[in-house]
Structure 1
């Protein structure tokens, strides 16, 4: 297992099917990851808190997506 830890963020539960494909690739390479549904549009404070604590929580990479509005991830 790699020592890297990646966060996969999506703007809504409806994005999960697409973002899960990212998780499949990471699993193939033995990379640890967590998936989170966090919408910058609906819960900006939660997204800001996650981002500010990401490094302290061991995340080295954040992959974000939000359907047709990725700026909301």
Structure 2
């Protein structure tokens, strides 16, 4: 039985590339999802470009103390998820979230492309751009955690059922065009 305040599952590391990314994180659904499911998480701002040594030390320490998943959110060149994947050497999943840069240039597509163009052997799960990407990252992290904890899996399934949102793909069966149909 858990003590009051004790989290149900291990720590998820959320690492942001810049302090300016904190506001989008706070206003996203990521904190609500992780806290609602009693997932222990920490947020750190560590630039892959400006603080490479600090990032290396933090990631190694987090893996050594049993962190299970990293969520890395960054804009512009967005080397952060790839750097974390390289540092952790595939020991833990790394989920990347592309963020729009403050100048709005390319609407986060530059960051997204840097995450999906990883070399073989350095995998990064890419969750999307901005707030939807942060929400997806939280859900992906929970899906991964649910694989090894039947108790957490039940809790996560209840959250999904309570959300009431189901994909509408395949519900409409109206024929739009019959060209080429035999």
Residues 8 and 19, structure 1, Cα contact 8 Å, conserved in 2: no
Structure 1 regions of 5+ residues with no counterpart? Answer: none
Instruction: Supply the RMSD in Å over aligned alpha carbons.
Output: 1.6
Between Structure 1 and Structure 2, the one with more helix by share is: 2
CA distance in 2, matches of 1:19, 1:68: 16
Residues 72 and 80, structure 2, Cα contact 8 Å, conserved in 1: no
Relative contact order, higher structure (CA 8 A, sep 6+): 1
User: 1:26 — aligned with what?
Assistant: 34
Q: TM-score, normalised by structure 2?
A: 0.37
Between stretches 20-29 and 2-11, larger displacement belongs to 20-29
Q: Does 1:68 align with 2:76?
A: yes
User: 1:45 — aligned with what?
Assistant: 53
Between Structure 1 and Structure 2, the one with more strand by share is: 1
Q: Deviation at 1:17?
A: 1.8
Count, aligned residues: 73
Larger Rg: 2
CA distance in 1, matches of 2:70, 2:47: 14
Q: Does 1:16 align with 2:22?
A: yes
